[in-house]
Amino acid sequence: MLFPDYRPRRMRRTEGLRRMVRETILTPDDFIYPMFVIDGKGVKNPIDAMPGQYQLSIDNLIPLARAAFDLGVPAVILFGIPDKKDPLATRAYAGDGIVQKAARELKNKLPDLVVITDVCLCAYMDHGHCGVVEKGVVENDASLDLLARTALSHAKAGADMVAPSDMMDGRVAAIREALDEDGRSSVPIMSYAAKYCSSFYGPFREAAGSAPKFGDRRTYQMDPANAVEAIREATMDAEEGADVIMVKPALPYLDIIYRIRQELDLPVAAYNVSGEYAMIKAAAEKGWIDGDRVMMETLTAIKRAGADMILTYFALDAARLLRGKA
Ligand code: PBG
């Protein structure tokens, strides 16, 4: 069909017609809200590079999680800021660790909210790396046991799903085994399968206090130049027992989301990370872009590329806008 017989503009003439042919519809169901939890009472520390996001003590975390849930957001993912760091990340898998306490309290107060926990060691290690460091090297196999213990302790505290973000090889299998051995075969694993070594994590590291004290994460996170390798990572994690495959970051990696969606038959999650959030917020504050519109366009693009779920700091704002429209 060619012009003038076919005119694509015909179906764009009114909002009603546009709605009828719209292919991608965002809903609050798509969102997972990332939250930073810290010890104390009445704490609400603003995160500089993430306007509108905070380090929250549990008493402040609960009402915000409830607000998200009431807006239709089904899930939150928790990141902990521990009271103490050491070379074995002991506070990551302590029964009275901050994430464990927060998960328990959230499940207690909001039983229908899906509580996901980020499983990593970087915020709990004195050196800030995601695994055990021996002679300056991040040791893969020595890290697996600590990661599995962390995931298990989260599940014991009530986490509905655990999400390993460390990028050690074999950690999905190690976590699956630890959960199953403890009779927790019903706890799903959302694997940060294609997690790139990205500079878009900058604001998050300030929020979580998780920047590495030496070197960088290039020996474990993926090279941003690689795409085929992402398929291999995702396939491996699927075979090790991952229930959800994550791509991270989202917007600069839409091609990866698309390819994984085509090649795998598991749900795909995408993490719209801190730097992506910060850029939109900063440009909007300067009046250079319309923040709300760019937010919705970004989230729509991530879903259009193939994401079934989007981890985003915009979860509340976007859900509010979607609700307002309905
Ligand atoms: C921990 C972790 C990071 C993020 C999620 N989990 C940071 C990192 O790998 O350095 C980044 C999230 C964001 O930027 O919003 N390993």
pLDDT tens-digit readout, 273-294? 999 999 999 999 999 999 999 9
Query: What mean pLDDT comes out for the span 47-65?
Result: 98
Rg of the chain taking only CA atoms, in angstroms: 20
Distance in angstroms (rounded) separating the CA atoms of residues 289 and 281:
9
Residue 178 belongs to some domain of the structure:
yes
Residue 137 belongs to some domain of the structure:
yes
List pLDDT tens digits, range 22-36: 999 999 999 999 999
Q: 273 in ligand 1 pocket by Cβ < 6 Å?
A: yes
**Residue of 33, 50, 120, 146 to test ligand 1 pocket, by largest number of atoms within 8 Å of CB:** 120
Q: State the catalytic residue, choosing from 85, 101, 195, 325.
A: 195
List pLDDT tens digits, range 237-269: 999 999 999 999 999 999 999 999 999 999 999
CA distance to 49, 69, 154, 276, per residue, from 122 (Å) = 20, 28, 16, 21
pLDDT at 326 over 60: no
Q: Are 139 and 163 in contact, with CB atoms under 8 Å apart? A: no
* Encoded amino acid at 323, one letter: R
pLDDT in the model for residue 23: 98
List pLDDT tens digits, range 217-237: 999 999 999 999 999 999 999
Q: 311 in ligand 1 pocket by Cβ < 6 Å?
A: no
pLDDT in the model for residue 1: 86
Q: Are 154 and 100 in contact, with CB atoms under 8 Å apart? A: yes
pLDDT at 122 over 70: yes
pLDDT at 125 over 60: yes
Confidence of residue 325 (pLDDT cuts 50, 70, 90): low
Residue 1 belongs to some domain of the structure:
no
pLDDT exceeding 90 applies to what percent of the chain?
98
Strand partners, 36: 55, 79
Q: 167 in ligand 1 pocket by Cβ < 6 Å?
A: no
Q: Tell me which residue of 271, 297, 273, 272 sits closest to 284, measured CA to CA.
A: 297
Q: Tell me which residue of 292, 290, 246 sits closest to 272, measured CA to CA.
A: 246
Q: At 77, which helix (H) or strand (E)?
A: strand 75-81
Nearest-atom index, ligand 1, CA of 130: 16
pLDDT at 157 over 60: yes
Query: What mean pLDDT comes out for the span 89-111?
Result: 98
Q: 130 in ligand 1 pocket by Cβ < 6 Å?
A: yes
Residue 16 belongs to some domain of the structure:
no
Query: What mean pLDDT comes out for the span 46-53?
Result: 97
| Cβ-count burial 53-71 (b if 16+ within 10 Å, e if not) | bbbbbbebbbebbeebbeb
**Is 109 known to be catalytic?**
no
Split into its structural domains, the chain has a count of 1
CATH number of the domain enclosing 82: 3.20.20.70
Give the domain range for residue 317: 25-322
pLDDT in the model for residue 288: 98
**Is 248 known to be catalytic?**
yes
Residue 131 belongs to some domain of the structure:
yes
Residue 5 belongs to some domain of the structure:
no
**Residue of 210, 222, 279 to test ligand 1 pocket, by largest number of atoms within 8 Å of CB:** 210
Residue 18 belongs to some domain of the structure:
no
Q: 274 in ligand 1 pocket by Cβ < 6 Å?
A: yes
CA distance to 126, 252, 313, per residue, from 91 (Å) = 11, 33, 25
Q: Are 38 and 56 in contact, with CB atoms under 8 Å apart? A: yes
Residue 45 belongs to some domain of the structure:
yes
Query: What mean pLDDT comes out for the span 160-164?
Result: 98
pLDDT in the model for residue 203: 96
pLDDT exceeding 70 applies to what percent of the chain?
99
Distance in angstroms (rounded) separating the CA atoms of residues 224 and 165:
16
